[in-house]
Amino acid sequence: MGALTVLAPVTGQVLGLGDVPDPVFSAELVGPGLALDPSREPRSQVIAPVAGALLKLHPHAFVVQHGDGRAVLVHLGIDTVELGGSGFELHAAEGDLVEAGQVIVSWDPDDVAAGGRSAVCPVVGLEAPPDDVTLLVRPGDTVTAGEPLLSWA
């Protein structure tokens, strides 16, 4: 099994998971990774970070499982499950096979922030051993959606 490159699902500023205002993500309980503070563009598009099957798809979060079994979680904002899907537009369906870079969701991070929630987007290698994930960018960097974010050995 070769290294899997995980792409940035949104454009924004890189944060360490320790800076995510959620104890599950900040303690890396679901796996290692990074977070992105998304640029505040209306109807911002969120892309698949790897190719694979959409194992789970909710308006505020999705999991793409690569063909080799590794799965990447993208969570759009913190406590956004409380929005009940309002403000999110799905462009795929659970179970779909998607390509890396394919648009999965559109949303407006400003609307999330205006509602008093964090728009920060954790990107996590689900249940990955921490030593298997290498950061390809550093906290403080700015990335564009589709640029390499992590390498998963």
3-state secondary structure of 57: strand
Q: What angle do CA 46, 49, 51 make, to 5 degrees?
A: 120
145 within 8 A of 25, measured Cβ to Cβ: no
Kindly state the tokens that stand for 126. Answer: 């689900």
Tell me which of 58, 66, 75, 91 is the catalytic residue: 75
Residue 60 appears among annotated catalytic residues: no
Give Cα separations from 152 to 45, 48, 129 (angstroms).
24, 16, 9
CA distance 139 to 100: 23
CA distance 35 to 1: 25
48 within 8 A of 101, measured Cβ to Cβ: yes
CA distance 105 to 48: 9
Q: Which residues are catalytic?
A: 75
